[in-house]
A and B are shown apart, each in its own frame.
Chain A
Amino acid sequence: MNKDKFITGNINPNRRFRKIIGGCVYILFLLSTCVGIIGLGLLIFDVLKEGIPWINWQFLTDFPSRDPKEAGLLSALFGTIWLMFLTALFTVPIGVGAAIYLEEYAPKNLLTRVIEINVSNLAGVPSIVYGLLGMGIFVYRFGSDEMFLDRVLIAGALTLSLLVLPIVILASRESIRAVPDSYRQGAYAMGADKWQVIKGAVLPSAFSGILTGTILAMSRAIGEAAPVIAITALVYITYIPAHPFERFTVLPIQIFNWVARPQDDFRSLAAAGIIVLLVILLTMNAIAVFLRNKYQTRSEE
Chain B
Amino acid sequence: MADSTVISVKGLNVYYEDFQAVKDVDMEIKRESVTALIGPSGCGKSTYLRCLNRMNDLIMGASIQGEVLFENRNIYDSNVDATEIRSRIGMVFQKPNPFPKSIYQNIAFGLKVNGFSGDMEEAVEKSLKQAALWDEVKDRLNDSAFTLSGGQQQRLCIARALAVEPEVILMDEPASALDPIATLAIEDLVRELKTDYTIVIVTHNMQQAARVSDETAFFMVGEDRSGYLVEQDDTQKIFTNPTHQRTEEYITGRFS
Contacts and interface: CB of A to CB of B under 8 A. Distances in A.
Given A187-B109, A196-B113, A201-B99, A301 B147 contact: yes
B42 interface: no
A204 B84 CA distance: 24
Contacts, number: 77
Nearest to A107: B60
Contact of B113 (A182, A200, A204, A205): A200
Contacts of A183: 97, 99-100
Nearest to A205: B100
A204 B101 contact: yes
B227 to A, nearest CB: 21
A108 B60 contact: yes
Nearest to B157: A186
A188 B99 contact: no
**Contact-residue bracket for chain A:** 20 to 34
Interface string B220-234: 000000000000000
Contacts of A193: 83, 113
A192 B113 contact: yes
A191 B93 CA distance: 15
B99 A186 contact: yes
B147 A189 contact: no
B124 to A, nearest CB: 14
Interface in A160-213: 180, 182-193, 196, 200-201, 204-205
A131 B87 CA distance: 51
B55 interface: yes
B99 A189 contact: no
Contact of B83 (A180, A185, A192, A201): A192
Interface in B116-149: 144, 146-147
A24 to B, nearest CB: 50
Interface in B74-96: 83-84, 86-88, 90-93, 95
Interface of B: 53, 55, 58, 60, 83-84, 86-88, 90-93, 95, 97-101, 109-110, 112-114, 144, 146-147, 157, 160-161, 163-164
